[in-house]
Amino acid sequence: MSTTPAVGEPLIQLEGTSKTYRSGELQVTALQPTTLRVDAGEFLAIMGPSGSGKSTLMNVLGCLDVASSGTYRLAGSDVGSLSEEELAEIRNRRIGFVFQQFNLLASMPAWRNVELPLCYAGVSRTERRERALAALERVGLADRSDHRPGELSGGQQQRVAVARALVTEPALLLADEPTGNLDSTSTADVLGLLAELHDAGRTIVLITHEDDVAAAADRIVRLHDGTVVSDRSNAPRAGLHRAGKVPS
C-alpha cells in the first residue's frame, strides 16, 4: 500500500466501479458503474434513501466487499488486485470505521476499546496504551479513559468509537450513519468533532440519509437506484466547530 497522498491529491478513485449480487439465477445490481474521485483532506457525505446503493458503495470503499467490475484505487493501489490478507491489512491500518452501533465491548474501559485495532496489528502493550490514551485525548475524552461504555453518554461512546478509528492513523475515516443512535445534542457534538478532524487534514467519508447530517460535509454525493444523481460542493453550516482544533 502506498503512502497517504498529500492534501488535494486523489485518495479514492473509482472508474466504472459496479457491484452485482447473485443468488442462483437471481442477479441484482446494487451499484451501477460509478466514477468518483475523493481527494485527500476532503469531507464527503454520501446520501441516499434505503436501497439507493449507499451501503454497497460504503462496503466497496471500506474494502469490506470487492467490486464486480471497474477499478477502485485507494492511495494509488488497485484494491481489486489485492489478496484477502492484504485487504484485511488495509481495513485494519488504512481505514478507520465508525458505525451507527458503537460496537464497544461493555466489559472494557474506554482505552482498552480504543487499543483493539493495535492488538490485531501486533503493537506492544506499552505502545498500545500510549496511543489509545493519545487518541482519547484527541477526541476530548482523556478524563474518561477508565470509564466503561455503560458509564458514558451516547455521544461520549461515539467519541470513543472515533478514537478507536483514529488510533491506527488511517488514511481514510469512513463513518456509516454515525449519529443514527444519538439525540440532537450528541449529534451536534459528534459532527463538530468530525468537522475538527477534517480541519486538521483528515479525509472523511460520511454515509447518511439525513440532510442535516450531510450539511456538515463540504461536498455531497447523492445516490438513487445505485446511480450517482448529483455531486455538488457544499458550504457546511455554521456552529459545528467546537472551540479549538483537534491535533492532526
How far is C-alpha 217 from the geometric centre of its chain's CA atoms? 13
Q: d(Cα 100, Cα 180) in Å, to the nearest integer?
A: 5
Cβ neighbourhood burial of 213 (10 Å; 0-12, 13-18, 19+): buried
pLDDT of residue 3: 60
pLDDT of residue 243: 37
How far is C-alpha 161 from the geometric centre of its chain's CA atoms? 11
The string of DSSP letters for 54-100 reads HHHHHHHHTTSS--SEEEEEETTEEGGG--HHHHHHHHHHTEEEEES
Place of cell 478507536: 164
- List of the chain residues with pLDDT < 50: 1-2, 239, 241-248
Segment 8-58, tens digit of pLDDT: 789 999 999 999 998 888 999 999 999 999 999 999 999 999 889 999 999
Q: d(Cα 124, Cα 141) in Å, to the nearest integer?
A: 23
Q: d(Cα 163, Cα 246) in Å, to the nearest integer?
A: 12
Q: d(Cα 178, Cα 187) in Å, to the nearest integer?
A: 8
Q: d(Cα 3, Cα 75) in Å, to the nearest integer?
A: 7
Q: d(Cα 116, Cα 222) in Å, to the nearest integer?
A: 33
pLDDT of residue 220: 97
What's the pTM value of the predicted model, to 2 decimals? 0.88
pLDDT of residue 5: 77
Please state, as a whole number, how many other Cβ atoms lie within 10 Å of the Cβ of residue 24. 5
